[in-house]
Structure 1
């Protein structure tokens, strides 16, 4: 292959700049220039804090700025208020002061990790601002009020500037991203279901289910930003939440359909009518979304018609066919509705959609929150800060306060990760690589700079380059330490200072803060991914057990949303787990199907005769006991034989009752439970003497 041919085969991204990334970097640079100019003009004491805040708060998606600007400003004011109240009153008890500040920071991180919405930025900024305001003045708190006002002014100028500039110049919008994600999900769901109905269910389910669940969870997080998008959002929040609910329904329905097909295929060959229906469904899934909408209603009617054409009383195979057809009909209807909602994004005027959203007062998609993980993050943060301050005080290091401030900044930035140590290692590497650039600017370039405009021009190559790196998702984690090292080392003040000893001390403070944070992360935060996943799986089991208890109230929509969200969180973590991990035996979709079956039975309790109602309650009690035990033990315990017998008795009671239809939701739910919990068990006898 010639050199010209090899060059032509290389990715275009190696030769061409991405316009969106370049515009993001340019927007951040303009905001930084405005911030620096205001800081110099207003004689703010630490303009470099304002400049660093610009790049800390910059985000590649403009719609994400508007909810965050208010929360960040509120967090800054909250952290400043705490600093003013605590530091002067405890200045004579430094040990107690450190404990109070560490406890406050840990509490803020706990709330930030627990929240998982843009509101988390309020708590994160409160922790960060109180740390950077308080720690440099713990040994001399006399000027804490003046210092606090200055830090608030610097960070406020930066946040307002970066938000306004990105809002005006950056063309990103949340709506197109949501539309793209929804289209991709529908295409993936159709492809997966089509392949699963082709009797390759198990392997395909394992490969794709986590991605689908993660897409649903991500869609809900994007919907939070819609009311703050810079353009009138045609995909209103209510419509996106409706779409998310439809997509959350598609996942378990498609999985249940493929599961029933597996059970049927393991026995006798499929009946010609059923085989033809499955082939037609697979062909329908291969069609474009517009054709799926046009033909979906007729296909769903065919599925329901075949489901009711069973013998009376039905056999076990009849029940499997009825369950397969009903779940397939529900899947087709949910898929058609999802296609309709995606297609209508952009067709309804924003004003009308906003009015409808205000009238309905639609709430956000339920999120699964783990207090244990949040407490671990908060405790680790507080412990880290105590250790930083202890080393600083014991060594009497003059720059130790800066180390504590940097360490607090880094700890707060990576508090949401299970194991921040690998990221912190890359953070340290990026910092060390940037020191030569900082030294070149400080000792070779800046001494020749005269005036604000020349300063901005000379900074442009470095800031624009690092800003372009920040816009790339795969490299953005390296951009923040590069900005931090460069900006802090240059130490922008009202007059130029180039002192080598100060440069070395500041650099050592930054490196020391990163190393201290890395050491604490290795000791307290190196949580194995499997441990986190086990906690989530156990929480899911416990909630299913609680929901199955007949005496407890339950909210079906709340549980389904939390289960989907938890499945998405597991997906992101299991993507980096080893393929042979025992947790792969914990089938998240099987648990999701069982939970939905529990909901169907509980809803149907009041619609069945008393004897059947008693049998259903026995099944619910058995499910509750099994999943509560799984949650306590943390092990995928097999379902007991007594539960299988109870399910068979309940099915027999419903099948022999002429007042109940063979496609009754509770009966289909029992079929689903038996398929999921006892897939290898022999066929049940559809009589009351089971």
Structure 2
């Protein structure tokens, strides 16, 4: 077991101090529920200043929005309980949908507003005249806790988010370096590689939320911009290095063709991946750049086959492998440079090595259907719980409904929310026991606030040391918050065992109901989400290869990459070469190759464009069929023949562009228009080779049927 670090103890002591400050002020000003101020401190506190400030701001806004809704909706609908239940459920579901749709820290506004309204509204339906006072008091108490948490966290030994960003980035670099080295060695399958893919994707996903909190940490805008650029290139590295594996495996294993010098190039590239990250920002942004990267690029260029060699399958594969290796080198150099600049407060200039039309997309992928169903579960839970409460006439039943709503909302975005709701239930049950011990055994002996602080200090500080740990965060935070709430500290000691038992059993019963309801309505898990993501990705591959106009290809690319990063963590590690994560990378490459071919069409001659049109139509039809059948099907042999025909025509045009091999013309330079044509032909050939390898990886040893190819 790892014991709490100094940083964990410091966070816990600061949080406890802020909670006691909030409780003291609330007691001095005789707020109705001072314990809510104490509980709010534990809800918003985070080891890092930026995270605490952002959560504090968004909790204040969410609380105010939920309180305003309660004030507006309770008086006109309190006499129609069933209709009011529908309104509460609709409000919660709508705000929850908005929260799930926002993957930044801002989502907390909608989440909190969604369940704050029933928290305030439902307990007051028996006495609606108190709704305004309750809403105002709750807003004041929570705001007080927010202010205390922010002031203490920001002024007493504050911890910044930027170092955490570097820590997460360094963990990504370690995984990416190992994954890249394995790929350059020809390994693409195995449990360790699958697990590494999952970690790389999870880190990139986590950084998106972390970056949304950086602006609240007094971070310089230049660092924010570079951090976004770093994440964007992290996002590209995994698909790029995976795309490099196919041509390397085809050359080494299937064709047994391995040019001299390629082994040492790959070994040096793998060694560079594992080199220590630069310790000085100047190392990465001076005029000399990265000397190792420049040397690798020169060696890549030296190994490039002549254009007449592209007519052979071996030459086309080698050219494709080197082209992809050059891209990986550019992206890795950018990542190293950006990391160095961020670590040194963003000083200096940065010139991107990897520049491509695909960069700059901002669209994210959302499974709207699954999101709507995820919101339907809390809505239906609220409706059924309200019906049971109204039918039973249970005076404290509102507590059961509100905690059921909170639990269902908390975990609605999870693939398997039921186990998390059950942990919520266990943490709350434990809190009831702790609160009971304090309320009936400890507090009767307390005569002043100083003694109360001393009696609270031990357990709350100990529990607080576990809150920063992801494995314990939810349970320990809930224990702290619920214990503070259930004790219900007031300016004068008042405790009634039957009242305590009845009100708190209601909350525990509501959480048990939430668990059973979630288990019944969401029996499926990550498998369904992964299946839907795969089907959606196939639809986008079909769209990429179709003649349908695409408003912004960069946003389409961004959406496909984002969906792939959502899919990989949902797939179990496996050593199967047909593993869905490996196949999904190939799907992405096919889509990107199709987009490249679409962009090349307007620059090529008609006989080549006709062949490429046939290829695109075949790809679109194949993936549309996969999407409609909801299963992956083998690519048809006719499509292979179409790709081979297109490659033959492109290679023939490339040979026709060669300059005359005469002494007089030996030094002649192609005309600018010819250069554009050669570049287009080269890009087209790379796209076709990548598409063929991705669609038919088992046939990489079979050369395309070029009539005059040297195979």
When normalised by structure 2's length, the TM-score is: 0.88
The residue number in structure 2 matching 1:605 is 601
The residue number in structure 1 matching 2:141 is 154
Deviations 1:582-619 (A, max 9, x none): 97376222122222212322222222122212322222
Secondary structure, counterpart of 1:272 in structure 2: coil
Secondary structure, counterpart of 1:34 in structure 2: helix
Q: Distance in 2 between matches of 1:585 and 1:106?
A: 33
Secondary structure, counterpart of 2:311 in structure 1: coil
Q: Distance in 2 between matches of 1:322 and 1:363?
A: 27
Aligned residue runs from structure 1 range 246-395, under 5 A: 246-265=233-252, 266-290=254-278, 293-312=290-309, 314-347=311-344, 366-395=363-392
Q: Which runs of 5+ in 1 are unaligned?
A: 1-10, 354-361
1:439/1:364 CA distance change after superposition, 3 Å: farther
Q: Distance in 2 between matches of 1:497 and 1:201?
A: 66
The residue number in structure 2 matching 1:624 is 620
RMSD of Structure 2 on Structure 1 (CA): 2.7
Secondary structure, counterpart of 2:189 in structure 1: helix
The residue number in structure 2 matching 1:412 is 409
The correspondence for 1:70, drawn from 57, 62, 68, is 57
1:628/1:494 CA distance change after superposition, 3 Å: farther
**Number of corresponding residues:** 666
Q: Distance in 2 between matches of 1:136 and 1:61?
A: 35
When normalised by structure 1's length, the TM-score is: 0.90
Q: Which runs of 5+ in 2 are unaligned?
A: 284-288, 351-358, 658-676
1:171/1:593 CA distance change after superposition, 3 Å: farther
1:270/1:432 CA distance change after superposition, 3 Å: same
Secondary structure, counterpart of 2:304 in structure 1: helix
The correspondence for 1:564, drawn from 548, 557, 561, is 561
Q: Distance in 1 between matches of 2:81 and 2:348?
A: 56
The residue number in structure 2 matching 1:359 is none
Please tell me whether the aligned partners of residues 45 and 494 of structure 1 are also in contact (alpha carbons under 8 angstroms): no
Q: Distance in 2 between matches of 1:215 and 1:396?
A: 49
Secondary structure, counterpart of 2:499 in structure 1: helix
1:192/1:586 CA distance change after superposition, 3 Å: closer
Q: Distance in 2 between matches of 1:77 and 1:157?
A: 13
1:439/1:582 CA distance change after superposition, 3 Å: farther
1:363/1:460 CA distance change after superposition, 3 Å: farther
Please tell me whether the aligned partners of residues 24 and 60 of structure 1 are also in contact (alpha carbons under 8 angstroms): yes
The residue number in structure 1 matching 2:669 is none
Secondary structure, counterpart of 2:412 in structure 1: coil
Deviation at 1:501, TM superposition (A): 0.5
Q: Distance in 2 between matches of 1:583 and 1:516?
A: 38
Please tell me whether the aligned partners of residues 230 and 339 of structure 2 are also in contact (alpha carbons under 8 angstroms): yes
Please tell me whether the aligned partners of residues 534 and 583 of structure 1 are also in contact (alpha carbons under 8 angstroms): no
Which moves more between the two structures, 540-549 or 91-100?
A: 540-549
| 1:214 pairs with 2:232 | no
1:667/1:475 CA distance change after superposition, 3 Å: same
| 1:675 pairs with 2:693 | yes
Deviations 1:330-360 (A, max 9, x none): 111211121111112244557999xxxxxxx
Q: Distance in 1 between matches of 2:607 and 2:348?
A: 54
The residue number in structure 2 matching 1:28 is 15
Please tell me whether the aligned partners of residues 430 and 481 of structure 1 are also in contact (alpha carbons under 8 angstroms): yes
The residue number in structure 2 matching 1:636 is 632
The residue number in structure 1 matching 2:163 is 176
Q: Distance in 1 between matches of 2:523 and 2:343?
A: 45
Aligned residue runs from structure 1 range 420-499, under 5 A: 420-499=417-496
Q: Distance in 1 between matches of 2:451 and 2:526?
A: 49
Please tell me whether the aligned partners of residues 196 and 258 of structure 1 are also in contact (alpha carbons under 8 angstroms): yes
Aligned residue runs from structure 1 range 485-634, under 5 A: 485-575=482-572, 584=580, 587-634=583-630
Deviation at 1:113, TM superposition (A): 1.3
